């Protein structure tokens, strides 16, 4: 574990409190742990132009959402959709087993926001290009 990476996202969270204009948003609850992450992504020309979140619950949930924001900015919608709990955990420098749920929650919120974005047309251009390249 790298406590400096975790502390960076905990004390200087990327995108906290920012829900970009025109963004798609998804909210995920952590069930018994009472964590909640509301994650938003704004897409421009199939790239994640901005992202933000609101989180409540444990500090690990806020740090994980911050890590997710840092990981998806500037990526294509499809690349952002591939960001999972493992990559979020790595961005945080590792998590203890009892805090892994925070990375899973952030990844779930990101995936749901990404699916909503895809349903609105974001990602369709990239998917067509990728498919055409294989033909």
pLDDT digits (tens, 9 = 90+) for 80-106: 989 999 999 999 999 999 999 999 999
Angle, CA of 1, 88 and 39, to the nearest 5°: 140
* 8 A C-beta contact, residue 65 and residue 83: no
**Domain segments of the chain: what residues?**
3-134
> Which of the two residues, 75 and 115, has the higher pLDDT score?
75
pTM, two decimal places = 0.85
Predicted local confidence at residue 118, as pLDDT: 64
Position 29 scores a pLDDT of: 94
Question: What topology does CATH give the domain 3-134?
Answer: Sufe protein. Chain: A (3.90.1010)
Q: Is the pLDDT of residue 127 over 70?
A: no
Whether 119 shows a pLDDT value over 70: the answer reads no
pLDDT of 79 > 80? The answer is yes
The 10s digit of each residue's pLDDT in 5-64 is 999 999 999 999 998 988 999 999 987 788 999 999 999 988 999 999 999 999 999 999
Write out the two tokens for 121: 């047309």
Residue pair 122/24 in contact by the 8 Å Cβ criterion: yes
**Token pair for 1:** 């574990």
Q: In this structure, are residues 113 and 41 in contact, taking their beta carbons and an 8 Å threshold?
A: yes
pLDDT of res. 11: 95
Q: Where are the beta strands (DSSP E) in the chain?
A: 24-29, 36-44, 47-56
Which of the four pLDDT bands, split at 50, 70 and 90, describes residue 129?
Answer: very low
Burial 13-33 (b: 16+ CB within 10 A, else e): bbbeebbbeebbbbebebeeb
Band of residue 114 on the pLDDT scale cut at 50, 70, 90: confident
């Amino acid at each position: 574990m790298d406590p400096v990476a975790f502390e960076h996202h905990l004390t200087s969270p990327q995108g906290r409190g920012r829900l970009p204009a025109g963004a798609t948003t998804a909210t995920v609850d952590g069930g018994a742990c009472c964590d909640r992450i509301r994650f938003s992504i704004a897409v421009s020309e199939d790239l994640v132009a901005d992202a933000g979140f609101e989180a409540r619950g444990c500090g690990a949930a806020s740090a994980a959402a911050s890590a997710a924001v840092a990981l998806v900015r500037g990526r294509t919608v499809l690349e952002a959709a591939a960001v999972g709990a493992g990559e979020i955990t790595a961005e945080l420098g590792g998590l203890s087993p009892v805090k892994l749920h925070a990375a899973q929650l952030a990844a779930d919120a990101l995936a749901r926001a990404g699916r909503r974005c895809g349903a609105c047309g974001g990602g369709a251009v990239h998917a067509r290009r990728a498919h055409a390249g294989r033909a």
